[in-house]
Amino acid sequence: MDLDTGEVRVLRLIGAHEVGKAINPSNCRQQVEGALGMGFGYGLMEECLWEQGRMLNADFLITAVPTALDSPRMEVFLVEEPHPQGPFGAKGVGEMALAPTAPAIANAVYDACGVRICDLP
Protein backbone atom coordinates (compact mmCIF):
# COMPACT_ATOMS: atom_id res chain seq x y z
CA MET A 1 0.00 0.00 0.00
CA ASP A 2 1.20 3.48 -0.90
CA LEU A 3 0.47 5.66 2.12
CA ASP A 4 0.73 8.88 0.08
CA THR A 5 -1.72 7.96 -2.68
CA GLY A 6 -3.80 5.20 -1.06
CA GLU A 7 -3.04 2.85 -3.94
CA VAL A 8 -3.38 -0.79 -2.92
CA ARG A 9 -1.69 -3.67 -4.73
CA VAL A 10 -2.68 -7.21 -3.90
CA LEU A 11 0.28 -9.49 -4.56
CA ARG A 12 -1.30 -12.83 -3.71
CA LEU A 13 -4.71 -14.26 -2.86
CA ILE A 14 -4.98 -17.56 -1.02
CA GLY A 15 -8.27 -19.42 -0.71
CA ALA A 16 -8.84 -22.52 1.39
CA HIS A 17 -12.38 -23.82 1.01
CA GLU A 18 -14.21 -26.87 2.29
CA VAL A 19 -15.86 -28.44 -0.75
CA GLY A 20 -17.20 -31.76 0.49
CA LYS A 21 -15.72 -34.37 -1.84
CA ALA A 22 -14.00 -32.74 -4.82
CA ILE A 23 -15.22 -34.96 -7.65
CA ASN A 24 -13.33 -32.82 -10.17
CA PRO A 25 -10.58 -31.02 -8.20
CA SER A 26 -9.38 -28.97 -11.17
CA ASN A 27 -12.90 -27.64 -11.76
CA CYS A 28 -13.28 -26.85 -8.05
CA ARG A 29 -10.01 -24.89 -8.05
CA GLN A 30 -11.06 -22.95 -11.15
CA GLN A 31 -14.40 -22.10 -9.56
CA VAL A 32 -12.69 -20.80 -6.43
CA GLU A 33 -10.17 -18.83 -8.53
CA GLY A 34 -13.03 -17.20 -10.42
CA ALA A 35 -14.73 -16.21 -7.19
CA LEU A 36 -11.46 -14.85 -5.78
CA GLY A 37 -11.11 -12.75 -8.92
CA MET A 38 -14.65 -11.42 -8.52
CA GLY A 39 -14.02 -10.58 -4.86
CA PHE A 40 -10.77 -8.85 -5.83
CA GLY A 41 -12.68 -6.71 -8.33
CA TYR A 42 -15.41 -5.89 -5.81
CA GLY A 43 -12.83 -4.97 -3.20
CA LEU A 44 -10.68 -2.65 -5.30
CA MET A 45 -12.07 -1.73 -8.71
CA GLU A 46 -15.78 -2.05 -9.38
CA GLU A 47 -17.48 1.13 -8.27
CA CYS A 48 -21.19 1.60 -8.96
CA LEU A 49 -22.09 5.24 -9.61
CA TRP A 50 -25.72 6.25 -9.12
CA GLU A 51 -27.70 9.39 -9.83
CA GLN A 52 -31.38 9.67 -8.91
CA GLY A 53 -31.75 5.87 -8.84
CA ARG A 54 -30.08 5.37 -12.24
CA MET A 55 -26.77 3.58 -12.57
CA LEU A 56 -24.33 5.78 -14.48
CA ASN A 57 -21.71 3.13 -15.27
CA ALA A 58 -23.79 0.09 -16.16
CA ASP A 59 -21.47 -1.31 -18.83
CA PHE A 60 -17.95 -2.71 -19.04
CA LEU A 61 -16.72 0.24 -21.12
CA ILE A 62 -17.04 2.51 -18.09
CA THR A 63 -16.78 0.19 -15.08
CA ALA A 64 -13.29 -1.12 -14.32
CA VAL A 65 -13.23 -4.88 -13.84
CA PRO A 66 -10.05 -6.87 -13.27
CA THR A 67 -8.33 -8.47 -16.24
CA ALA A 68 -5.68 -11.18 -16.19
CA LEU A 69 -3.07 -8.41 -16.06
CA ASP A 70 -4.65 -6.91 -12.91
CA SER A 71 -5.14 -10.17 -11.05
CA PRO A 72 -2.71 -11.25 -8.36
CA ARG A 73 -1.20 -14.71 -8.05
CA MET A 74 -3.81 -17.08 -6.61
CA GLU A 75 -3.38 -20.23 -4.58
CA VAL A 76 -6.31 -22.51 -3.88
CA PHE A 77 -6.45 -25.24 -1.27
CA LEU A 78 -9.38 -27.63 -1.29
CA VAL A 79 -10.42 -29.00 2.07
CA GLU A 80 -12.33 -32.23 1.56
CA GLU A 81 -14.84 -33.50 4.09
CA PRO A 82 -17.42 -35.59 2.24
CA HIS A 83 -20.95 -34.36 2.88
CA PRO A 84 -23.32 -37.19 3.85
CA GLN A 85 -26.24 -35.76 1.89
CA GLY A 86 -24.39 -34.50 -1.19
CA PRO A 87 -24.08 -36.48 -4.41
CA PHE A 88 -21.01 -38.69 -3.96
CA GLY A 89 -20.18 -36.56 -0.90
CA ALA A 90 -19.88 -33.34 -2.93
CA LYS A 91 -21.11 -29.85 -2.05
CA GLY A 92 -21.87 -26.97 -4.35
CA VAL A 93 -18.71 -24.93 -4.83
CA GLY A 94 -20.54 -21.98 -6.40
CA GLU A 95 -19.10 -18.60 -5.51
CA MET A 96 -18.23 -19.30 -1.88
CA ALA A 97 -14.83 -17.65 -2.21
CA LEU A 98 -16.46 -14.40 -3.27
CA ALA A 99 -17.83 -13.43 0.16
CA PRO A 100 -14.61 -13.23 2.22
CA THR A 101 -12.27 -11.78 -0.43
CA ALA A 102 -13.11 -8.06 -0.30
CA PRO A 103 -13.21 -8.02 3.54
CA ALA A 104 -9.85 -9.84 3.59
CA ILE A 105 -8.36 -7.12 1.38
CA ALA A 106 -9.87 -4.44 3.65
CA ASN A 107 -8.35 -6.16 6.70
CA ALA A 108 -4.95 -6.31 4.96
CA VAL A 109 -5.17 -2.54 4.37
CA TYR A 110 -5.96 -2.07 8.06
CA ASP A 111 -3.00 -4.24 9.06
CA ALA A 112 -0.72 -2.29 6.70
CA CYS A 113 -1.63 1.25 7.68
CA GLY A 114 -4.25 1.28 10.44
CA VAL A 115 -7.07 2.63 8.24
CA ARG A 116 -10.33 0.71 8.50
CA ILE A 117 -12.16 0.33 5.16
CA CYS A 118 -15.90 -0.15 5.71
CA ASP A 119 -17.30 0.32 2.18
CA LEU A 120 -16.58 -1.26 -1.16
CA PRO A 121 -15.78 1.03 -4.12
Residues 72, 66 contacting (CB under 8 angstroms) = no
Rounded to whole angstroms, how far apart are CA atoms 92 and 13? 21
**pLDDT digit string (tens) for the chain, length 121 residues:** 777 788 888 999 999 999 999 999 999 999 999 999 999 998 888 888 889 999 888 877 777 788 888 899 999 999 999 999 989 999 888 778 888 999 999 999 999 888 898 888 7
Fold of the CATH domain 12-113: Aldehyde Oxidoreductase; domain 4 (3.30.365)
The reported pLDDT for the residue numbered 32 is 93
Sign of CA dihedral 99, 35, 84, 79: negative
| Among 33, 46, 80, 95, the one annotated catalytic | 95
Taking alpha carbons only, the member of 118, 106, 113, 111 closest to residue 5 is 113
Residue 80 annotated as catalytic: no
Taking alpha carbons only, the member of 83, 82, 121 closest to residue 105 is 121
Rounded to whole angstroms, how far apart are CA atoms 18 and 21? 9
Instruction: Report CA-CA distances (Å) from 78 to 2, 18, 45, 71.
Output: 33, 6, 27, 20
Side-chain-facing half-sphere of 14: CA atoms under 13 Å = 3
Sign of CA dihedral 19, 34, 25, 104: negative
Phi first, then psi: give them for residue 31, nearest 5 degrees: -65, -45
- Give residue limits of the domains in the chain: 12-113
The reported pLDDT for the residue numbered 15 is 92
